Structure 1
Amino acid sequence: MANNDIATRAPESDAQEQAEAPAEQSVFPGDTRAQEGPSMGEHCTSDRPTPSGEAPTGDLTRIGGVECYVAKPADYPHAPSKLLLLLTGGTGVKSTNNQLQADKYASEGFLVVMPDQFDNDPAPNSVDMTEISQEASWLESIKLRTAEGIKSFMIDMWLARHTPEKVLPVLHKVIEGAKEEFADAVANGGGVYGVGYCFGAKYILVLAGEHPDTIAWGPAAPKDEEQGTINKEPVLKAGAVAHPTMLTKEDLVAVKSPVYFAAVENDPMLSEEDVLTPGRRAMETNKVEHEIQVFSGVPHGFAVYGDYEDSKIKQSQAQAFGQMLGWIQSH
């Protein structure tokens, strides 16, 4: 495990600040939260400001019947490329920042396919609690906090609509369609590569794993009479992820392809004790090539493309991109 603690101070780290507050109850009497523990933070559901003067250059198209943003190197197909699957956080495929992030990988020689894994249903935006000023009246504060409670409940309901049973079949359709449409890029790279952020990071790790369960592979998973369900090999040749949400220890235990992991120190969206540490030990035991880099003093979601006032967070974002790019280039 490679630790790289970057001493930055992040005033935007609202995800950490929210996690320190007492857990909110549903605003609807008799209702309970759909998810236990932290689900998704502000950085998973809201874009940072887009850097001035930048605009996406890729195209929205359909692959395997699923809407995708496709970014190609400027000299493709005259020069060889490699196929890269990019999975986003809750802001989805039509987010300008996510499209610009795809363009950045394309400028480095990857043919990038970024699918709409949410079927035109991106996550509802969260209310920024910094809007509650010290001068706000008691009633105004209550209204804003109630709105945040409603948004939190809406996000839980959104997550309930986007489970592995719903998301993974969509991703498999896209991957199979992309392998057929861009067979030259797959052949040139010797397989499909993947990068993922927040919500999408979990699924990159799943696709980098070996799974016997029908949830990951659809209802028609083949069975062997003596051994039971046959394990499916990883879909991805290598993957790189940043600050996953909804990740489980089992996701990491199943990983078989080389993976790079940009983690946030004390991330409220990822338990180090219950998920990251035992997952790392499992990869070591299974002799899976991996690297886990820990960034300190940055908010969850920092690696997603977008503008920050804090120059040190900008540096961390650029460093995470460089590490993720370097990993998939070297594999």
Structure 2
Amino acid sequence: MSGAECCENPPNLNSSCVTTGSVEELGGLNCYVVGSPDSKVAVLLVSDIYGYEAPRLRTLADKVSAAGFYVVVPDFMHGDPYVPEDSERPLRLGVWIKDHGPEQGFNEAKPIVEAIKSKGVSKIGAVGFCWGAKVAVELAKDSYVQAAVILHPSFVTLDDIQGVKVPISILGAELDHVSPPELLKQFEEVLDKKPEVNCFVKIFQGVVHGWSMRYKDEDKASLKCAEEAHQDMLDWFIKHLK
């Protein structure tokens, strides 16, 4: 995993972005929750290394909830997202990852999934960005969820993809050294040999790793690609969960 690419253009976690959800405890973790608790379909949003407070992630959660989903964004970082400029800790991403591995996120996701189901939800989708993609794939391997979407994934291997049991959409960037198009094409080849698993792979041209959450506001081309990816994600869940 390339620390340089994953750390580019970090979000402003102190943004005054207006959102419609609230923070509550679910499955043992604080979660940003939005949408009707009476909905029978839910989506679990798993963040990148910058955590569940990222304004664009919460704005996206609001958009997904407006389509009729109950949306949960867990704080898998336990209030300790990666902060590149933090002088109180080692700045190396690898050091931070040791304390915040996606395997831990997967284990912590399981009780959250059960808590969501206890509300009467019948189908759950999981979407993961970068770090969160590994968590989403692990959930898809063990059928904790009924559909998955991963965007510019990190840590995901061919063996992981081989184990996926539910419909999965993979959205990547042309200029990505963490999950390059060549790797995503290999993912597609593996999935094509599993006719029982519906898959969709798309490479967005001219954008870099992390673009869907951390594009620059003035970069209109990346913004357009991000919005297109978000719509692709939403369409996937509408197709497979509703």
Task: Evaluate the alpha carbon distance shift between residue 278 and residue 126 of structure 1 in structure 2; reply closer, same or farther with a 3 A threshold.
Answer: farther
> How far has the Cα of 1:89 moved from its partner?
0.6
Q: 1:60 aligns with which of 5, 8, 23?
A: 23
> How far has the Cα of 1:95 moved from its partner?
2.1
The structure whose residues are more often strand, as a share, is 2
Q: Using structure 2 for the length normalisation, give the TM-score.
A: 0.88
- Structure 1 counterpart of 2:218: 309
Q: 1:192 aligns with which of 100, 104, 124?
A: 124
Q: 2:34 aligns with which of 63, 71, 85?
A: 71
Q: Which has the higher contact order (CA 8 A, sep 6+)?
A: 1
SS in 2 for 1:122: coil
Q: Deviations over 1:48-99 (max 9, x none)?
A: 6999x841111111011111110115xx64xx45111110111111222221
Q: 2:148 aligns with which of 236, 239, 246?
A: 239
What aligned pairs does 1:20-99 form with structure 2 within 5 A after superposition? Answer: 38-39=2-3, 41-42=5-6, 46-47=10-11, 54-73=17-36, 77=38, 80-99=39-58
- Structure 1 counterpart of 2:114: 176
What aligned pairs does 1:90-109 form with structure 2 within 5 A after superposition? Answer: 90-109=49-68
8 Å Cα contact 2:13/2:55 also seen in 1 = no
Q: Deviations over 1:97-154 (max 9, x none)?
A: 2211211111111110111112222112269xxxxxxxxxxxxxxxxxxx9xx62x2x
How far, CA to CA, are the matches of 2:111 and 2:190 in structure 1?
Answer: 30
Task: Evaluate the alpha carbon distance shift between residue 41 and residue 48 of structure 1 in structure 2; reply closer, same or farther with a 3 A threshold.
Answer: farther
How far, CA to CA, are the matches of 1:251 and 1:126 in structure 2?
Answer: 33
8 Å Cα contact 2:34/2:65 also seen in 1 = yes
> How far has the Cα of 1:45 moved from its partner?
7.5
How far, CA to CA, are the matches of 1:296 and 1:267 in structure 2?
Answer: 10
How far, CA to CA, are the matches of 2:138 and 2:65 in structure 1?
Answer: 23
8 Å Cα contact 1:87/1:201 also seen in 2 = yes
Task: Evaluate the alpha carbon distance shift between residue 320 and residue 126 of structure 1 in structure 2; reply closer, same or farther with a 3 A threshold.
Answer: farther
How far, CA to CA, are the matches of 2:8 and 2:41 in structure 1?
Answer: 27
Q: 1:111 aligns with which of 63, 70, 84?
A: 70
> How far has the Cα of 1:40 moved from its partner?
6.2
Q: 1:321 aligns with which of 227, 230, 240?
A: 230
Paired residues in the alignment total 237
SS in 2 for 1:61: strand
Task: Evaluate the alpha carbon distance shift between residue 44 and residue 109 of structure 1 in structure 2; reply closer, same or farther with a 3 A threshold.
Answer: farther
How far, CA to CA, are the matches of 1:236 and 1:259 in structure 2?
Answer: 11
Task: Evaluate the alpha carbon distance shift between residue 119 and residue 113 of structure 1 in structure 2; reply closer, same or farther with a 3 A threshold.
Answer: same
SS in 2 for 1:123: coil
Q: Alignment RMSD, CA only?
A: 2.5
Task: Evaluate the alpha carbon distance shift between residue 65 and residue 45 of structure 1 in structure 2; reply closer, same or farther with a 3 A threshold.
Answer: farther
Gaps of 5+ in 2: none
How far, CA to CA, are the matches of 2:202 and 2:188 in structure 1?
Answer: 12
How far, CA to CA, are the matches of 1:43 and 1:236 in structure 2?
Answer: 29
- Structure 2 counterpart of 1:203: 135
Instruction: Give the percent of matched residue pairs that are identical in Structure 1 and Structure 2.
Output: 26
